[in-house]
Structure 1
């Protein structure tokens, strides 16, 4: 658990309320010269349908599996957002809101959404609904990201034509109608990028590099920091030889054929590619913002289910436990666990209570708990974390 985690703690309430546990932890963790947590708030868990022990154990396993999946989905969406919005931008935090609240505000004020996830449904059905909705959102994000990436690659490809030096960039915006010989059956233009430090030598030698080069036909069309762009008129039957000789001299022959309207066509291609990638980027960001909010809500609802199921497995029936949420101070996790372990050590000998509903089921719970590894680290109480480090801005 990292310093940015929220912790959800559940212990038997013995008929008490969340506020009693909250007061207890306020005294243990908040008061004093060194605050181990800033505050402790209630984490309200409704009563869900409880089925057989086998079903509870299976639900617990499925909840743990989907917990990891939901967390991974949120991390992927966070990466998408961060790849499109500058970390220095004030707008970044707006993409990590949950129903208009920060993750911190949402978690500490969490209430089960009964209109979307009816508590009259079975836990299995609720989990199925949560999972299917998250999967749909994740697939939609993946599709939108793929579409944007394709558009972005296409835009970069078109943009390369406008970038680079004269040995690389498109000549459509440079060569004009008056720069080329049009309508000749016998002669053609060769375009060549000449390094500036070789320009003098080129002008002195180009006429003799091949037969049938038109004397004094070299015309300088453009210059940048590295190259000068020339066109030379040659007879078509010697064009290949002339181009070969130019390459031998380390000049860059540009494969370019002038066409009327090419400049406008290339500009339109660039504008269309730019508009498309901007539109898809904007669409992806809007959807990622919605998806983050939705999946985060689903994730916290799943945590709520996990708290309920494991609390029933730990403490028995009927469900009677209190749960709170808090955020450990930096480097205080170890100390907090020491206090909690000492404060609730009695739970190790009292993992289940007498049941007014089903003595048989509680007996089965007691039998099964000894061999059931509910946590990678065994604790006498129920403790879940909500890692939010990647979403804090």
Structure 2
């Protein structure tokens, strides 16, 4: 299935229905020599409460802003899910379900949820409720993501201590009690990460870097692909000078004091951090999956309000229009718009409103609409896009 976006089209009914418009589009865009759309379905728009003309125009402007806000909330939720799940389409599609259905299935069988969003409410109240709920979910997602990032950062920091090279990693799992001098008033161990290509030089020179270095005390404790880890015994009063000389020679002095049980303590810290990161990740992913479903539903309901309000503004009162949702094939946008422009060109010259409408109100509507730019690109019909490429698997 193509991952192209969906389009919602609305035109005056002229005695027809959504199904008639569906048949009309299928004939024009599917049955010809070149198939231009993947699927077309009726888009059912209920009757909403229409207040004054000024309110209707304000609602149209507000709905456009709220549509953008909901779209951004959905994009953020999508981004979070993709950051937590592998890029496998099979795995990802399970997280992009809407009320148990794929986005395609949901939008092509859309019905206004009157039990949650009562039609007795005004368009303003409905749009504010839809938007505020969607944004609240987005805020929760952002907060949970911050918690996850903090837990992940803490885990990675501890993991780096365990998995880095010998110039970085913790020495608790390497140094044993028998490798060090414990509770001495005069002597101490210095731990040095020596580059492998400088190992011979180090062994031949460390005894002469300062006074009070115990001869032949260098002991190799471990080695990786880059460094060898040594401990050298020195008198405490020369330790600072010795470490300074080591750094001058570009050796890495490791600040480490042996403590009994430190290895077990660090392992417990690592295990706890790993478990916390895993728990918060799972919780965030579960919540993001629920949030995606909810925000998508709210977003399509807002699209429904947009279609209604702009159709009334464009075609007049009482509301009498048909609407469908369809999915163009990729890169067919220009061809489809050209065909639609040609097919519905009569709407541009149709200056008369529905004869059943109030003549006074429609005259006022014409005057107000003259200065209202409903589309950046003017079209003689109502058309909205529903971008779904990023999660339509």
Q: Which residue of 2 aligns with 1:214?
A: 214
Q: Which residue of 2 aligns with 1:31?
A: 31
Q: Which residue of 2 aligns with 1:179?
A: 179
Q: 1:124 to 1:146 in 2, by over 3 A?
A: same
Q: Any idea what the Cα deviations from partners look like across 1:344-374, whole Å, max 9, x if unmatched?
A: 1121132552454633222211222222110
Q: Any idea what the Cα deviations from partners look like across 1:269-297, whole Å, max 9, x if unmatched?
A: 11111111111111111111111111111
Is 1:88 matched up with 2:88?
Answer: yes
Q: Which residue of 1 aligns with 2:99?
A: 99
Q: Which residue of 2 aligns with 1:245?
A: 245
Q: 1:183 to 1:103 in 2, by over 3 A?
A: same
Is 1:125 matched up with 2:129?
Answer: no
Q: Which residue of 2 aligns with 1:44?
A: 44
Unaligned runs of 5+ in 1: none
**Is the 1:316–1:355 contact (alpha carbons within 8 Å) kept by the matching residues of 2?**
no
**Is the 2:3–2:388 contact (alpha carbons within 8 Å) kept by the matching residues of 1?**
no
Q: Which residue of 2 aligns with 1:145?
A: 145
Q: Which residue of 2 aligns with 1:290?
A: 290
Question: Secondary structure at 1:119's aligned position in 2?
Answer: coil
Q: Which residue of 2 aligns with 1:72?
A: 72
Q: 1:153 to 1:3 in 2, by over 3 A?
A: closer
Question: Secondary structure at 1:145's aligned position in 2?
Answer: helix
Length-normalised TM-score, structure 1 = 0.96
Q: How does 1:262-273 map to 2 (within 5 A)?
A: 262-273=262-273
Q: 1:39 to 1:247 in 2, by over 3 A?
A: closer
Deviation at 1:383, TM superposition (A): 0.8
TM-align CA RMSD: 1.6
Matched residues in 1 for 2:212 and 2:3: separation? 78
Deviation at 1:3, TM superposition (A): 7.4
Q: Which residue of 1 aligns with 2:304?
A: 304
Q: Which residue of 1 aligns with 2:225?
A: 225
Matched residues in 2 for 1:184 and 1:284: separation? 51
Q: Which residue of 2 aligns with 1:154?
A: 154
Deviation at 1:235, TM superposition (A): 0.9
The farther-off stretch of 59-68 and 29-38 is 29-38
Matched residues in 2 for 1:33 and 1:160: separation? 61
Deviation at 1:183, TM superposition (A): 1.4
Length-normalised TM-score, structure 2 = 0.96
Is 1:199 matched up with 2:199?
Answer: yes
Matched residues in 2 for 1:351 and 1:279: separation? 62
Matched residues in 2 for 1:261 and 1:352: separation? 88
* Alignment size in residue pairs: 392
Is 1:255 matched up with 2:255?
Answer: yes
Matched residues in 1 for 2:137 and 2:113: separation? 19
Q: 1:214 to 1:268 in 2, by over 3 A?
A: same
Matched residues in 2 for 1:388 and 1:274: separation? 35
Q: Which residue of 2 aligns with 1:19?
A: 19
**Is the 1:52–1:361 contact (alpha carbons within 8 Å) kept by the matching residues of 2?**
no
Deviation at 1:32, TM superposition (A): 1.8
The farther-off stretch of 110-119 and 237-246 is 237-246
Q: Which residue of 2 aligns with 1:391?
A: 391
